[in-house]
């Protein structure tokens, strides 16, 4: 067990925040993980791909970097395949692997940063597909008892950017692997969300393969979302808020162009990106940090900004949205 002291986490979080971990250990086997847990560290901090967190201070804990690797097909039947993926695999590399095997279902989730093991925690989603649509189960280890448990889809209680691992079981389990069910033939292509269809048409594609859908998603994401390897960011900083239909009607009378998605007979979701753009924050820079100029939901570190800078900016944005629309924006990233 190679526990290092005072390690910078800059390369382990996509915002590129230069904070230190008091102690750091990377594990690449289940046995290694259990060995670390058996030392009963007083403070433990679980690190996956670091793509959904804003680090505002040094971490006075043992940072446990989950680096478990491996992808295997566990069963095939009736045009379906079940694939088990270890938690430390990169999400996008896993999606690319699926596409290379012509396994369908995750192509709309191409290019999402982060690792497979943390993806279920917030039920990642994009372009009309959520992780839960292809999720079968995950294996997780209980940090206290060190027992492995299989969580079925129902037990995960998935919601919009949400799961039981964010609430009732927060901090209790470490996900070690995830099983997905994918199609091997007759893929169900989903291109009716956002700009996918027009992107395909632009390239003269009418009957797209899953690989072509992935290419279209990558191309759209590249025009709107900054690559964290180049510009520090954590994707959508806020969730799209849900409001009542009656409140929406009032807002619509003031802001006739307000976009919305119907959630139920009584609730609608409005895009946080639009709300933020309307407050005037889109594209604003404050020295070395700011709001992305192509997608107002994304806050960026141009280099050398602190977590406090980004946190303060997010609070300013929340206040502006509250003042103009009387809507509370909830952050999607974990602030630490
Ligand atoms: N919009 C604006 N201004 C902006 C951004 C968006 O007016 O600066 C408007 C758009 O014109 C559109 C609507 O808002 O009418 C929705 O925009 P978009 O399709 O870009 O999606 P989003 O709701 O802003 C969500 C996810 C993204 C995901 C996209 C595509 C959340 C919080 N975000 O963004 O997820 O990629 O849909 O499916 O649900 C992430 O979670 O990190 C992420 C990037």
Distance, CA 261 to ligand 1 centroid (Å)?
12
Active site residue 161: yes
**Pairing status of strand 53-54 against strand 59-66:** unpaired
DSSP secondary structure of 137-194:
EEEEEETTT--EEEEEHHHHT-BTTB-GGGTTTTTTEEEEEEEEEEESSS------ST
Check if the beta carbon of residue 95 is closer than 8 Å to that of residue 217: no
In whole angstroms, what is the distance from residue 336 CA to residue 334 CA? 6
By alpha-carbon position, which residue is closest to atom 36 of ligand 1?
A: 126
Q: Is residue 275 classed exposed, middle or buried when 0-12, 13-18 and 19+ CB atoms within 10 A define those classes?
A: buried
Q: Which pLDDT score is estimated for 1?
A: 81
Is residue 143 exposed (0-12), middle (13-18) or buried (19+ Cβ within 10 Å)?
A: middle
Q: What's the CA-to-centroid distance between 271 and ligand 1, angstroms?
A: 6
- Residue 221 among the catalytic residues: no
Residue whose CA lies nearest to ligand 1 atom number 15: 259
Domains for the chain: give ranges and CATH numbers. Answer: 4-66 (3.30.43.10), 71-183 (3.30.465.10), 232-335 (3.90.78.10)
Whether residue 224 contacts residue 127, with contact meaning beta carbons closer than 8 Å, is answered with no
Cα separation, 116 vs 205, in Å, equals 30
The pLDDT assigned to 213 comes to 98
Residue with CA closest to ligand 1 atom 24: 273
CA nearest ligand 1 atom 25, residue: 126
Residues with CB under 6 A from ligand 1: 126-127, 194, 224-225, 235-236, 239-240, 259, 271, 273-274, 277, 282, 295-297, 332
Rounded to whole angstroms, how far apart are CA atoms 122 and 286? 29
Query: How do beta strands 129-130 and 125-126 pair?
Result: antiparallel
User: Can you give the pLDDT at residue 263?
Assistant: 87
Cα 197 to the center of its chain, rounded Å: 23
Distance 273 CA to ligand 1 centre (A): 6
Point out the ligand 1 atom lying closest to the alpha carbon of residue 160: 39
CA 3 to chain centre: 28
Q: Which of 92, 126, 277, 290 to mutate to test the pocket of ligand 1 (most atoms within 8 A of CB)?
A: 126
Q: Looking at 134, 139, 161, 314, which residue is catalytic?
A: 161
Tens of pLDDT along the chain (336 residues) come to 899 999 999 999 999 999 999 999 999 999 999 999 999 888 999 999 999 999 999 999 999 999 999 999 999 999 999 999 999 999 999 999 999 999 999 999 999 999 999 999 999 999 999 999 999 999 999 999 999 999 999 999 999 999 999 999 999 999 999 999 999 999 999 999 878 999 999 999 999 999 999 999 999 999 999 999 999 999 999 999 999 999 999 999 999 999 999 888 899 999 999 999 999 999 999 999 999 999 999 999 999 999 999 999 999 999 999 999 999 999 999 999
Instruction: State the distance from the centre of ligand 1 to the C-alpha of 121, rounded, in angstroms.
Output: 20
- Which residue's C-alpha comes closest to atom 16 of ligand 1? 271
Atom of ligand 1 nearest to the CA of 238: 32
Query: For residues 83 and 72, is the Cβ–Cβ distance under 8 A?
Result: yes
* Torsion sign across C-alpha atoms 87, 119, 218, 206: positive
Distances (CA, A) of 318 to 15, 170, 224, 272, 325: 20, 25, 22, 10, 10
């Amino acid at each position: 067990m190679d526990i290092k002291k005072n390690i910078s986490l800059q390369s382990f979080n996509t915002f590129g925040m230069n904070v230190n971990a008091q102690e750091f250990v990377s594990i690449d086997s289940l046995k290694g993980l259990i060995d670390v847990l058996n030392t009963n560290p007083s403070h433990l901090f679980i690190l996956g791909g670091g793509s959904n967190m804003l680090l505002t201070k040094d971490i006075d804990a043992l940072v446990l970097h989950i680096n478990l690797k491996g992808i295997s097909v566990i069963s095939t039947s009736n045009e379906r395949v079940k694939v088990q993926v270890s938690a430390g695999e990169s999400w996008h590399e896993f999606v690319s692997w699926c596409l290379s095997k012509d396994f369908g279902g995750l192509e709309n989730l191409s290019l999402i940063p982060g690792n497979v093991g943390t993806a279920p925690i917030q039920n990642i989603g994009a372009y009309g597909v959520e992780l839960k649509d292809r999720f079968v189960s995950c294996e997780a280890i209980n940090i206290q008892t060190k027992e492995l448990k299989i969580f079925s889809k129902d037990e995960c209680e998935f919601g919009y950017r949400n799961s039981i691992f964010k609430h009732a079981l927060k901090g209790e389990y470490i996900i070690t692997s995830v099983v997905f069910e994918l199609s091997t033939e007759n893929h169900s292509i989903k291109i009716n969300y956002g700009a996918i269809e027009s992107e395909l048409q632009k390239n003269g594609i009418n009957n797209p393969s899953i690989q072509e859908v992935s290419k279209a998603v990558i191309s759209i994401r590249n025009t709107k979302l900054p690559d964290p390897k180049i510009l520090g960011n954590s994707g959508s900083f806020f969730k799209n808020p849900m409001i009542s239909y009656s409140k929406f009607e009032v807002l619509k009378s003031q802001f006739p162009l307000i976009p919305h998605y119907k959630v139920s007979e009584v609730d609608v979701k409005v895009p946080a990106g639009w709300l933020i753009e309307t407050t005037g924050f889109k594209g604003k820079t404050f020295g070395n940090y700011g709001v992305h100029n192509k997608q107002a939901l994304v806050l960026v570190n141009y280099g050398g900004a602190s977590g406090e800078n980004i946190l303060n900016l997010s609070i300013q944005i929340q206040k502006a949205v509250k003042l103009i629309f009387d809507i509370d924006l909830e952050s999607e990233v974990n602030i630490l």
